[in-house]
Structure 1
């Protein structure tokens, strides 16, 4: 069958392409926040069943792929959720990232999984501006599908497919084909092509580590002549620049795929840098390997002390290795050749640099370091470069603001230490909620404290009694529910938080992060003013924020020193502007709603008397 090729640069094609933005909203699973019903660790039997089901659903995954997707010695969680329209789903989570979700007994991979296995599903290509619409709940219309010279993949109606963007094979969405490939071509590429279930930047993606899609180079077309490729390249790049309205052109500036659609008047230096990157013999994976090795030896040489051992591997990564990352760079082990921290540490152990041991089941710790090893002794820390200012990150017109990744951490106090000693922890170690749960589960199983008659309960031994029970409970309470056990443990630990901005090393602070506070106060003559504080904690420059807000509401805005806080500023603007402030923070800066206080202060419309 000969597939007709439609020139993407033709005016007719561009006109039909724009109709993709008019796609009606559908019941996309994760376009809006979902409600978590339960979150439990998977048992061995459940893991085996899931592995068999995934293998049956996706035969392209070999046993090695399945082991990479669901590592045997790493924890998997089953999360039961209700979607925003009431659908009941099951999400399977590994290392904070959702990897598979189940709907009506059918399994679907998430974008996190497809980034590791980009050829798992038949893939169709669309334009970068379409992504934002898909994440907001739109289905993919056929005018938005790019026709490659080799033709569309052969699929039938109901086939699960992936969607990628021009310039990269990394999938950004999954959906079900509403018609076969033959029917798509017979329709003249008009109508709805795919019912979208999940996308990059939707709420399911937000529940993971929020990493961006990798840039996976498209497969080169051997049969395409050089002149034809140049024409296609020109036509592809000319569509967004010369024929899209300004409102749609803005959506091309997606931070993770900006390099795929050059803008008119783009900096020549940026083109030169891109060309230099293409000419380099070092692949992105090798670059990440070099950065990982540099941070690893930096941490061992200058950060880790003998008194810190044994050191939980996850704590070493979070508190030591990440902090050694140069300004403007970020270690992502998934983008290295090792893929996992455990594999990287095993390689270092084979080189006799350190020793790793499971002090408790499923929890690895660094127990010994050879500081006399030549690779450690010869390492010299690189000279650090000055970091970007907060204005460049948050308010600058040439930079796209990216919200921070905020993780709650829990420190081990002296009273709680007996519960964590068996797993190799020390007083003051910081753990995530998942780490705490893993340690508690390992402690209970190691000490055989699961209640013999009811596995939902844990028998209280003297250590649990001293650490988690109040004095009035110590004589009466003999067992606790699993959730109650973990909740009590977290409540009695020292709370901290880790903030990671893209391109910067993580910053850890004590206590919970203060939310951005919106407050409305009344002044003389019944006038109201809106005050916003704590913007600096989220790398938002108050002056730039005030200027942007002033342009939107056409009201006077000023920045004043925050009383009682050193080097902190609050923004003040005339009138009750809490609604505009909230919209700016949630939609423009993408700050999660739970980190914004005062959204309820917006003026409510009422009947005029």
Structure 2
């Protein structure tokens, strides 16, 4: 179900009543959970969001996300635990065991077939057709997949372990797992792990070959460091290939290598292995951060957008051959890393100058930690130095803007059946569906003309003016929808790549381009509201200055707190338009004033 990317429809914080209902639903679906475990899964005070998505095949799915990790997903009113939940409680569902190479097929969307099931000495898990079940791999009883039983365990044995065993819905390394923090499963050896490892090599000789090799490779992976995250099945193949190549190239070739080179490599490996991958990434982040502050950032650049600081300054300070990825650190997000730098190290001050957009407003260059930092010599921008953050050459990606509408007090009774109270934020398609359901439920469609809807007291109070109470008895469908939207509070959602969505009231403020006259009738071009779209006015000013070869200055925007406007000498509307439309890919409807470009002179 989640083998391919899905589309997020909405992401809202769960209400108190819905939180209690969710806890009751989980308790009913999984009675094995104790009250303490239920409180851990659905805490009263921690962040718990409801995310509605559409899977790639069109299935409507509801996710319950706790601290950025999806814990449950609901399909057709059925609750299923994710692998993140099963890693906490591995015995929550009956499990079937398979070989590690089979996981690659499951991630690609395949179901678990019975020939791939490893039967333990205790027999198969006792399940009925349609029961929830999990899938784990040999030598680790922690589940790596979730699904439903295709047949009962009795039928599995009667058919000679042939056919489909588990209808797989969700796996480790699929898109639902990637929606969380992408952590790796813990390793918990099963109780009969030793018996399996001793008996399996003595099995049928015909079952060797690729299956035995896959089992051995899976064991080597499970016994290694489980902090490393394997994102794609192709990466597993590459790891197995590199492992087999190392085994083939061993022996005599290793003896022929110089002892001096081997000792140096062993020392480097020991130094790297002494720290976990997260600790190594934390140290790399701190190094790039201090290096950027000491050599890249200038006082004149402040305030500096945190995203620009990462993309243009920290990335270029990453040592060659290393990869800067905040998601692999203990901080997970740039904002959390900067908070630590501000509170514990007192190196910078970060403020949210506009809603959802943070900037570095002050740097303490006299800080002892920063003054004592010595810049390493092996630093420089590498072609593959960053994953998911981008270097300065990476093109800017505009935010995804979704128009939304908020339920007002006047319309609350109309949305009461849909359990949408005042302040609930909805998309236009959701509103249309709710109104349609309301009309059909109350049988308000006109019998003589299906294009009209009869007005009942609720629709009258919500949608009609006082002067229309006695006159209007019917409305067309389109008129019904347009009146509903016009009486709702306009909102919009901004979704920047790699960040949580930001919902704001009102319509989107477009980027405003104006041409004004200064002394001696000189023209200047002024650009406002760049921060709304995540653009750094200082970067835009520098780019324009290089393009048009004219002076650019920054001024505080009047009437807008903590915003800057860019002023360019001359009428540069055409060049500004090209920059915003072509390079930054801002939709034309969100740019205001392009018609003020200077008209070309007439040919003589």
TM-score range for the pair, normalised by the shorter chain length: 0.3 to 0.5
The structure whose RCO (Cα within 8 Å, separation 6+) is larger is 1
Provide TM-score, normalisation by structure 1: 0.47
TM-score by length of 2: 0.47
